[in-house]
Amino acid sequence: MSGNEYEFTIKRKDDHGKVSYSDYSVPKDRISTVFEGLLYIKENLDQTLSMRYSCTMEICGSCAVEVNGKPKMACSTIASSLKTDKIRVEPIRHFDVIKDLVVDLDSFFDKYRKGLPYIIREDYGDYSSELLQTPEQFQKYEQYSMCIKCGLCMAACPIVGTDEDYLGPASLTAVLRYNLDSRDEGGKYRLEAIGTEEGTSRCHYAGECSEVCPKGVDPSSAIQKLRWQVFKHEISGLIRGRRK
Three-class secondary structure of residue 222 per DSSP: helix
Non-local CB neighbours of 112 within 8 Å, separated by 6+ positions: 149, 170, 171, 174
Q: How many CB atoms lie within 10 A of CB 73?
A: 27
Check if the beta carbon of residue 96 is closer than 8 Å to that of residue 103.
yes
Residues 119-160: pLDDT tens digits?
Answer: 999 887 677 788 899 999 999 999 999 999 999 999 999 999
> pLDDT at position 147, please?
97
* pLDDT bracket for residue 29 (50, 70, 90): very high
pLDDT of residue 148: 97
- Residues 82-127 have pLDDT tens digits of 999 999 999 999 999 999 999 999 999 999 999 999 999 988 767 7
Q: What are the φ/ψ torsions at residue 187 (nearest 5 degrees)?
A: -55, -40
Residue 239 has pLDDT above 70, yes or no: no
pLDDT of 241 strictly over 90 = no
Model pLDDT, residue 130:
86
> Which domains, ranges and CATH numbers included, belong to the chain?
5-103 (3.10.20.30), 106-243 (1.10.1060.10)
* pLDDT of the residue at 163: 95
Instruction: Tell how strand 64-67 and strand 70-73 pair up.
Output: antiparallel
Residue 239 class from Cβ within 10 Å (0-12 exposed, 13-18 middle, 19+ buried)? exposed
Q: What is the pLDDT of residue 177?
A: 98
- Count other Cβ atoms within 10 Å, centred on residue 96: 11
Share of the chain above pLDDT 70, in %: 95
Cβ(40)–Cβ(30) below 8 Å? yes
Q: What is the pLDDT of residue 128?
A: 78
Biggest CA pair distance of the chain: 77
Residue 126: the pLDDT is: 72
State yes or no: pLDDT of 1 exceeds 60.
no
Residues 6+ apart with CB under 8 A from 106: none
The pLDDT of residue 238 is above 80: no
**Which stretch of DSSP H or E encloses residue 240?**
helix 219-243
pTM equals 0.90
